[in-house]
Copies of this chain bind each other. A is one copy, B any other.
Amino acid sequence: MSSETNPSAVVIASEDLRAWTRSLVQRAGTPPDFAADVAEVLVASDLRGIASHGVARLAQYLKLVNAGVLDPAARPVKEKSKPALARFNANNGWGQPAGRIATDDAIERANELGAAISVVRSSNHYGIAGWYAMRIAQRGLIGISLTNAGAMVAPTRSRVRMLGTNPIAVAAPAGRFGMVVLDMATSTVPRGKIEIAARQGKHIPEGWAIDREGSPTQTPEAALSGALLPLGGAEETGGYKGYGLALIVEMLTGVLASATCGHHIMGLFSTEGNSDLGHFFMAVDPGAIEEEDSFEKRLETLIEELSAAPRAVNAPGPVLYPGQLEAERAEYQAVHGIALEQSVFESLQGLADRYSEPLPSIKR
């Protein structure tokens, strides 16, 4: 839910970082409208403090373009549809514009019908799942966004990686609280958290991962060569539920969209073939069954009550609602600039040189 700011971080104004990212992605052969999508989604992630899914991914994305396994100019097309369910083919192009187009199509149909779904196949990494759900919530609807991903997670009782961290994102307008935004991997933690523990020489809690044999481990190195555990951890603490959720996400994305599934999906860092990811987007319009804004007011009341719930004795802070910390971080960084880790900044400098697109000025 949180993320620490490194004191040696480099700070860049969000609008500058967005404009630079757009230009860079354009130089790699992307049409201007699609480059704007990629920049928008990546910088939104950095703004919210989710550095792992922000501009840190640019170098990798552009490697896929250069290897010819991501077609930067490909336009997604609607292949098949009924009024409330449509399938798009991203034609192996950027995940972000494919996701934005499929999302907007679902919003338009939901405004008419009360609810609508788009699925996408032959896509690539689409950034934070929450961005598409938030886009829907910004229009007053309930938004859901799901995607499959390269295999990282072992099913309960197995020792091998068979499913991705398959995230679930749901967003809805919540009155004075802005939006509720749940954006969660269905694994206990992302792999990145274990990598950080490894660098810091720290143990990891039980329930995060297993080693190559499938035994629970608290040693980050053993975990990194093993597999992530699904949400819930071990079987006795409900890990089979997290496994079940990851499977359902796979079913609604890869299986429903006719994309690649499970352990057949290429890792994000592989340039050996197409990703062929599947995404799922749903918009639900509460206004279809009631007076405008009354859903939003009831959700506001619920969040108010949860936020005011008496704290546990050792609580590290107040009771939060999903997306609260990320929204606070985004608000702060929109004013004060985005803090980038030194290593991320260096990777951007490399791209700036290679594509002759000089980086914007640094605020700090």
Q: Check A158/B238 contact, CB under 8 A, given A85-B284, A86-B289, A285-B85.
A: no
A158: shortest Cβ distance to chain B, in Å? 4
Closest residue of chain B to A300 (Cβ to Cβ) is B255
Task: Say yes or no: A247 contacts B180, CB within 8 Å.
Answer: yes
Q: Check A188/B251 contact, CB under 8 A, given A83-B83, A214-B312, A314-B215.
A: no
Task: Say yes or no: A237 contacts B172, CB within 8 Å.
Answer: no
Task: Say yes or no: A83 contacts B113, CB within 8 Å.
Answer: yes
Cβ contacts under 8 Å, A357 to chain B = none
Cβ contacts under 8 Å, A336 to chain B = none
- Interchain CB contact (< 8 A) of A184 among B82, B115, B244, B320: B244
Q: Write out, one digit per residue, whether chain A residues 286-325 have a CB within 8 A of any chain B CB (1) or not (0).
A: 1011100011001101100110011111111111111000
Cβ contacts under 8 Å, A244 to chain B = 182, 184, 322
Task: Say yes or no: A258 contacts B159, CB within 8 Å.
Answer: no
Task: Say yes or no: A294 contacts B157, CB within 8 Å.
Answer: no
Task: Say yes or no: A214 contacts B313, CB within 8 Å.
Answer: yes
- Interchain CB contact (< 8 A) of A85 among B114, B184, B207, B322: B114
| B-contacting residues, A62-88, CB 8 Å | 79-87
- Indicate if A110 sits at the interface (CB-CB under 8 A): yes
Task: Say yes or no: B83 contacts A261, CB within 8 Å.
Answer: no
Q: Check A84/B84 contact, CB under 8 A, given A162-B309, A289-B119.
A: yes
Chain A interface (Cβ within 8 Å of chain B)? Answer: 1, 79-87, 110, 112-117, 119, 142, 154-160, 162-163, 168, 170, 172, 180, 182, 184, 188-189, 205-208, 210, 213-215, 231-233, 235-238, 240-245, 247-248, 250-252, 254-256, 258, 261-263, 284-286, 288-290, 294-295, 298-299, 301-302, 305-306, 309-322
